[in-house]
Amino acid sequence: MRHHDLVVIGAGSGNAVVDDSFADLDVAVVEERWFGGTCLNSGCIPSKMLAYTARVARTVREAGRYDVDAELGAVHWRQMRDRVFGRLDAERDSGRRGRAQEDSVTVYEGRARFVGPRSLRIEGERGAVDISAGQIVVAVGGRPLVPGPVAESGLPYETSDTVMRIDAPPRRLAILGGGYIAAELAEVFAGTGSHVTVVEKEERLLGPQDETVAERFTELVRSRYDLRLGRELTAVDGEPGALRLTLDDGTTVEADMLLVAVGRVPNSDRLNLEAAGVATHDDGRVVVDRYQRTTAEGVFALGDVCSPVPLKHVANREAKVVAHNLRHPDDLIAADHDLVPAAVFTEPQIASVGATEQDCRDRGLDYVVGMAGYGDVAYGWAMEDTTGFCKVLAEPGSGRLIGAHLMGAEASTLIQPLLLAATLGIDATTLAESPYWIHPALTEVVENALLDLDL
């Protein structure tokens, strides 16, 4: 059995662990499907590249608001898809080639599972191979959850793993779930002309967002999509290309294609973790301490397989923590999940950090709210914006920022000063009054929300 100093299972964020500082070690990277993982191949990056095209198309459609006479001819799905994946597949292949060419790294293509403490069997197209390791990093990510009525129907369905690579957009797309993926991909497919129906079991889309954001976003897209809120799917029937979804109130949805987007599950169940002594939470996430160590000696984990916040910037941060801790067992650093920002790349964008207003109420926190509209600042006038807003939550007296939530153009960028202040302990008054805020930039909406706080 070949022995390596270090084995990384999963070449998504796990691949980033192995930098030049490991060149003196015998390292192996095991990947069963695609280098670059979810983010590069079926997640963050392709969805944003497609969403950007949808945004360009929307700009043309809405050009009349700015007295510009423009007409949208067509969105060429196939060209767009090939442009996006032509670039990303090349990145994936060059990432894989680069790794395989490194003298100190062995790349195994296949699915790994534990056969004992720090011992693995890798099964791939060329058969099975057993290896052992001094240290192991589990970075196997997660996969889309597929609910019973869909799986049991035997009828075709898409997930985020497949839907962005299809040959042609459907005329009628039904999306099960109203979270991140549904919100972003509804925009993409509606932008290409699909009629989109969203079936969500809660009463609002993007339910975990701050209540003002979730409410206003749901109202905003009500005219774009057929929303079936507070509804669960009970059955799928019909035939491929002509599906009928039956909901729990007896109503039906006719669709050519079904996209399932009801959350993701960690891939821990495929690793035979009992053999390694690696414990999991009830939801399948691998148990890690603040140093990303699992319950088994010499085994670390990072990313969606263990993280409380399954986002790429979190997986990247955890990869840095693991890389350090593998090399410095006597000087461990901790991963910090306190103030993790997130953005939804819809039209309009949504961005958030820290507590929501409903969190503050539930936790009995003393808080004040500052609100400002894009329509109240000069750049918002230029944009003819009537819906965008910034909402900040702060502790009365101290002005400590507890949470910030934006919905509107470039929200994913505008959140950054608020995130910096919250992370670095800069209070709301200092943030509003110390730095200059460029006039008439959109950042004035953040300044105004801070000034609106009654501290």
Ligand X SMILES: Cc1cc2nc3c(=O)[nH]c(=O)nc-3n(C[C@H](O)[C@H](O)[C@H](O)COP(=O)(O)OP(=O)(O)OC[C@H]3O[C@@H](n4cnc5c(N)ncnc54)[C@H](O)[C@@H]3O)c2cc1C
Ligand Y SMILES: NC(=O)c1ccc[n+]([C@@H]2O[C@H](COP(=O)([O-])OP(=O)(O)OC[C@H]3O[C@@H](n4cnc5c(N)ncnc54)[C@H](O)[C@@H]3O)[C@@H](O)[C@H]2O)c1
Q: For residue 8, what are the β-bridge partners?
A: 29, 137
| Residue nearer to ligand Y on the CB measure, 92 or 264 | 264
The footprint of ligand X on residues 35-54 (CB under 6 A) is 37-39, 43-44, 47
Q: Say which residues have a Cβ less than 8 Å from residue 86's Cβ, sequence separation at least 6.
A: none
Residues 254-273 that bind ligand Y (CB under 6 A): 261-264
Q: Are 183 and 344 in contact (CB under 8 A)?
A: yes
Name the binder of 410 from ligand X, ligand Y, none, CB < 5-8 A by kind: none
Q: Which stretch binds ligand X (CB under 6 A): 34-42, 322-330, 372-380, 426-434?
A: 34-42
Considering only 34, 157, 180, 367, the residue that binds ligand Y (CB under 6 A) is 180
Tell me the closest approach of the beta carbon of residue 286 to ligand X, in angstroms. Answer: 11
Mark the segment that binds ligand Y (CB under 6 A) among 3-11, 62-70, 103-111, 173-181: 173-181
Characterize the bridge pairing of strands 252-255 and 242-247.
antiparallel
Restricting to residues 80-119, name those near ligand X by CB under 6 A: 111-112
Annotate each residue in 151-180 with x if it binds ligand X (CB under 6 A) or - if it does not, as one string: ---------x--------------------
- Cα 82 from Cα 64, distance rounded (Å): 30
Contacted by 13, from ligand X, ligand Y, none: CB < 5 to 8 Å by type? ligand X
Pairing of strands 368-373, 389-394: antiparallel
The reply to whether 281 belongs to the active site is no
Instruction: For residue 266, state whether it binds ligand X (rule: CB under 6 A).
Output: no
Least separation in angstroms between CB 225 and ligand X = 18
Which tokens sit at 4?
Answer: 């390596």
The answer to whether the beta carbons of residues 353 and 340 sit under 8 Å apart is: yes
Decide: is 32 part of the binding site for ligand X (CB under 6 A).
yes
Q: Find, among 124, 136, 68, 133, the residue nearest to 294 by Cα.
A: 136
Strand-pairing partners, residue 286, are: 280
> Measured in whole angstroms, how far is the alpha carbon of residue 175 from the centre of its chain?
17
Asked if 45 is part of the footprint of ligand Y (rule: CB under 6 A), the reply reads no
Q: How far is CA 194 from the centre of its chain?
A: 23
Which of 28, 29, 140, 181 lies at the binding interface for ligand Y (CB under 6 A)?
181
Q: How far is CA 286 from CA 43, 259, 300, 301, 335, in A?
A: 21, 28, 10, 7, 15
> Is residue 284 a contact residue for ligand Y (CB under 6 A)?
no
Cα–Cα distances in angstroms (integers) from residue 63 to residues 41, 253, 407, in the given order: 33, 32, 21
Query: Contact positions toward ligand X, by CB under 6 A?
Result: 9-14, 30-34, 37-39, 43-44, 47, 111-112, 139-141, 160, 181, 267, 270-271, 303-305, 310-313, 315
Query: Contact positions toward ligand Y, by CB under 6 A?
Result: 147, 176-182, 184, 199-202, 207, 232-233, 261-264, 310-311, 342-345
